[in-house]
Structure 1
Amino acid sequence: MFPFKALLALTTLAVAYAQQVGTQTAEVHPKLSWETCTTSGTCTSNAGSVVLDSNWRWLHTTSGYTNCYTGNEWDTSLCPDGATCAANCALDGADYTGTYGITTTGNSLKLNFITNGANKNVGSRVYLMNNADTEYQEFKLLNSEFTFDVDVSNLGCGLNGALYFSEMDADGGLSKYPTNKAGAKYGTGYCDSQCPRDLKFINGVANVEGWTGDSNSANSGTGEYGSCCNEMDIWEANNNAAAFTPHPCSVDGQTRCEGDDCGATSRYSGVCDPDGCDFNSFRMGDTSFYGAGLTVDTTKVFTVVTQFLTSDNTTTGSLSEIRRLYVQGGKVIQNSQVAIAGIDPVNSITDNFCAQQKTVFGDTNDFASKGGLKGIGAAFAKGVVLVMSVWDDYAANMLWLDSDYPTTADASAPGVARGTCATTSGNPPDVESQEANASVIFSAMNINSSVSE
């Protein structure tokens, strides 16, 4: 995901990462099935479920109802330091439909952007659980193909319906950190390539040291620490623009950072690549490929296919290429080809494509510095967790996805134009008012154990 996620605590609830478990609301994970398929076309259904990220949950005292975190501030009497806060505060169960607008039916997940219950909720993030319902489902992606259907017809400018993989611990950090009593069952242990510092708890303790509330958001802030890991953005999109982006890191697995390791003073000083190597068809020169009534028609449901090829076509080889296909109306649609001078006319992500793109666009090639495809492929070999979310962007109004960005650059310069949305779009208060009924639907997820050419 890109850039720093101000989305993570944008509800008017007292949301926060917590490590104890509350008893006010039972935690019942909505069921969501998915499939494992073979190249012969045989598919097996798997019973799974989704769990809400703990940053959205009610955080209160272990013995009562007093909030440990309200607005964008900690209760310093309950949380004078990280360890004391973890002992004093409990994370409670979630009303998935009524409070957060999260519903599942069979193999389909719908995420509503705004939910007006007792309090207003903005956005959400969920993880796929395994059939035991106590750990996140882990996927090993090398030499495999991941497929899902998506409906973005109700998702306009300034919004992002995202599906991606992060190198999180399967148990949410439960076994590594004794002060984490909640674990994956309550959505703990998040990390990504932005090394987000707005997480309330990291490694089992509260992120209270140096916590500063955001000036443009009533509910979020940043602490001294961040949580970093490899991230593969399979899908970041609305009905105007879409991108898929690998983000490698120089660290192994979920890692707490501080200072420059988080990229605090310099965007590229951190242990992860914040920009990644993106393939956005509009940005790559094909402005008629993705959108309403275009080759991939975003007014209708379509299938997204992502293939992870290795150097030797085995599950132990190095990741060498990431391919994209679409299927809509029974027709297979090849990904658009690059139409930018100085970049080969390819339609997939390779290290060579990334190097050419960074050079032509004048971007820092932190992708190569942090390990490139081989680096993120190492995470795929060990296992990554599936994440799905809907969010708006308090940091950059989502212009990096669907408009001209940076706005100070010449829109005709290579790499600046990324979609058809106006540079005045995406302001979160406007989006939350005008797009209150927005939603994204992910369905029919499956993984094929080997790539079908």
Structure 2
Amino acid sequence: MFSKTSLLSLLAAGASAQQVGTLTSETHPSMPIQSCSAAGSCTSVSTTVTMDANWRWLHTTEGYTNCYTGNEWNTTICADGATCAANCALDGADYSGTYGVTASSGDLTLKFVTEGSYSTNIGSRLYLMASESKYYMFKLLNKEFTFDVDVSNLPCGLNGALYLVEMDEDGGMAKYSTNKAGAKYGTGYCDTQCPHDIKFIDGEANVEDWTPSSNDANAGSGKYGTCCNEMDLWEANVVSAALTPHVCSVEGQTRCSGTDCGDGDERYSGVCDKDGCDFNSYRMGDQSFYGKGKTVDTSSKFTVVTQFITNDGTDSGTLSEIRRIYVQGGKVIQNSVSKVSGVTDSNSITDAWCNEQKTAFGDTNSFEKLGGLASMGGSLSRGMVLALSVWDDHAVNMLWLDSTYPTDKDATTPGAARGTCETSSGVPSEIETSAASSSVTYGNIKIGAINSTYGA
């Protein structure tokens, strides 16, 4: 619902680039997935992950001078976007030492705060790779996506997000001649928040009108944002979880400026649906379903299944429903059912359900305006990239996920209560110290025909 990028990067080193540096070798950690047939037979696919460009060290092509330090550009090296792209190089990553990312037996663990030799790193975002130079493209109409997750070490204010975005397969390398780094180095990010903190967009540095953040030592915002369709399969911590499709009126990664970005008071005038249509069990009235000791017990690992149902049961049909199933302790657990007055007693997302929810909560229905599930299905048919991340929220402290939000509403107001966290929780300056050792672990990713990837 809010930016996953604006708060997270290296404190000391720079971040993002378009040329390729040679000071640190780039070796992608292994994270194999499985592809499953209708009969439930699964085969392994050799995939890896790469670190998003926004986290990487950005320095001069001929030396060690930072092009970006803290939350500011070196305006001598980066006088404008094109010059910066020519002068600056994006280097390889020390995944465990700098970023707290470790891969083991198909699992990927992301640590929240990592004290490295030269910097303190906050959070991370990685993408699944099909090869050294291309992202793995997921086409999930009439398919399901399954993964294991452990959020037991992810408290209030943090978000372990696993989601799909309609990025270019090569990170924009073919489209933009100034992008020499491509997918190998994690370029080309976009999402429905149209984030302005991405340091390189369309092969150029986002230096124009760059404004350092007032409450984040690492982030700032430039003139441009980068937009695309987004399917939030999983945004969660130990308290709350949300499943949320977001749609845009544009296809693929698109640079925005002005009203099209939907910033501030123009939130509902932009090309993307920033709110989405979210299914958060707590928000939908079932407060006993998800959490420590609850039906889905977040004190231990569990499996999350998301099914993309089409109107005619074919891979070329129109997306008509998104279903959620959990598996834990050998038991298949169907998603919780809506218990909100005015909303159908349902445990899945449909256009009709979204319309009822928006009305019941008094929310603006930009999801319907921008095409709803049919629009989301178009993106799923074209192909989307998997992002795996952990982040904190300098905008509203993640209260939209796990607390009462907006904070000026009573918790009894329909849609306001989203979890049990205090409205005073999630302040980044506090949790980056008190919850520094937090982490999330993802693994056992499977894709395949409906009901082929899981079982008791």
User: Once the two structures are superposed, what CA deviation does each residue of 1:142-184 show, in whole Å capped at 9, x if it has no partner?
Assistant: 0001000000000000000000000000100000000000000
Match of residue 150 from structure 2: 151
Matches within 5 A, 1:441-452: 441-451=441-451
What is the alpha-carbon distance in structure 2 between the residues aligned to residue 46 and residue 5 of structure 1? Answer: 28
The range that moved more, 132-141 or 416-425, is 132-141
The number of aligned residues is 451
> What is the TM-score when the length of structure 1 is the normalising length?
0.98
Q: Report deviation, 1:451.
A: 5.0
Matched to 2:39, the amino acid is S
User: Once the two structures are superposed, what CA deviation does each residue of 1:33-88 show, in whole Å capped at 9, x if it has no partner?
Assistant: 10001121100001110000000000000000001011111111111110000000
Matched to 1:106, the amino acid is S
Match of residue 308 from structure 2: 308
Matched to 1:80, the amino acid is A
1:120 aligns with 2:115: no
Q: Secondary structure at the match of 2:401?
A: helix
Matches within 5 A, 1:398-409: 398-409=398-409
CA contact (8 A) 1:281 1:290 kept: yes
Q: Report deviation, 1:11.
A: 2.8
Q: Report deviation, 1:185.
A: 0.3
Q: Secondary structure at the match of 2:436?
A: coil
Matches within 5 A, 1:21-32: 21-32=20-31
CA contact (8 A) 1:18 1:90 kept: yes
Q: Secondary structure at the match of 2:367?
A: helix
What is the alpha-carbon distance in structure 2 between the residues aligned to residue 398 and residue 4 of structure 1? Answer: 10
Match of residue 49 from structure 2: 50
1:290 aligns with 2:290: yes
What is the alpha-carbon distance in structure 2 between the residues aligned to residue 413 and residue 314 of structure 1? Answer: 40
Match of residue 239 from structure 1: 238
Q: Secondary structure at the match of 2:27?
A: coil
Match of residue 397 from structure 1: 397
Matched to 1:191, the amino acid is C
What is the alpha-carbon distance in structure 2 between the residues aligned to residue 183 and residue 147 of structure 1? Answer: 28
What is the alpha-carbon distance in structure 2 between the residues aligned to residue 313 and residue 35 of structure 1? Answer: 22
Match of residue 273 from structure 2: 273
Matches within 5 A, 1:26-105: 26-105=25-104
Structure 1's unaligned 5+ residue stretches are none
Matched to 1:338, the amino acid is S
Q: Secondary structure at the match of 1:172?
A: coil
What is the alpha-carbon distance in structure 2 between the residues aligned to residue 125 and residue 449 of structure 1? Answer: 28
Matched to 1:63, the amino acid is E
CA contact (8 A) 1:48 1:133 kept: no
What is the alpha-carbon distance in structure 2 between the residues aligned to residue 133 and residue 10 of structure 1? Answer: 23
CA contact (8 A) 1:139 1:380 kept: yes
CA contact (8 A) 1:171 1:184 kept: yes
Match of residue 109 from structure 1: 108
Q: Secondary structure at the match of 1:147?
A: strand
CA contact (8 A) 1:9 1:16 kept: no
Match of residue 322 from structure 1: 322
What is the alpha-carbon distance in structure 2 between the residues aligned to residue 287 and residue 418 of structure 1? Answer: 9
1:214 aligns with 2:213: yes
User: Once the two structures are superposed, what CA deviation does each residue of 1:357-408 show, in whole Å capped at 9, x if it has no partner?
Assistant: 0001000000001110000100100100010000000001000000000001
User: Once the two structures are superposed, what CA deviation does each residue of 1:84-137 show, in whole Å capped at 9, x if it has no partner?
Assistant: 00000000000000000001113111000011112111100000000x221000
User: Once the two structures are superposed, what CA deviation does each residue of 1:172-214 show, in whole Å capped at 9, x if it has no partner?
Assistant: 0000000000000000000000000100000000000010000
| Identical positions, percent | 63
Matches within 5 A, 1:166-185: 166-185=165-184
Q: Secondary structure at the match of 2:357?
A: helix
Q: Secondary structure at the match of 2:62?
A: coil
Structure 2's unaligned 5+ residue stretches are none
CA contact (8 A) 2:110 2:440 kept: yes
CA contact (8 A) 2:14 2:59 kept: no
Q: Report deviation, 1:247.
A: 0.1
Alpha-carbon RMSD across the aligned residues, in angstroms, is 1.1
Match of residue 424 from structure 2: 424
Match of residue 192 from structure 1: 191
What is the alpha-carbon distance in structure 2 between the residues aligned to residue 384 and residue 239 of structure 1? Answer: 27
Residues 14 and 98 (structure 1 numbering): CA distance in 2 closer, same or farther, change over 3 Å? Answer: same
What is the alpha-carbon distance in structure 2 between the residues aligned to residue 333 and residue 326 of structure 1? Answer: 5
> What is the TM-score when the length of structure 2 is the normalising length?
0.98
Matches within 5 A, 1:345-384: 345-384=345-384
Residues 97 and 211 (structure 1 numbering): CA distance in 2 closer, same or farther, change over 3 Å? Answer: same
What is the alpha-carbon distance in structure 1 between the residues aligned to residue 29 and residue 14 of structure 2? Answer: 20
Matched to 2:302, the amino acid is F
Q: Secondary structure at the match of 1:97?
A: helix
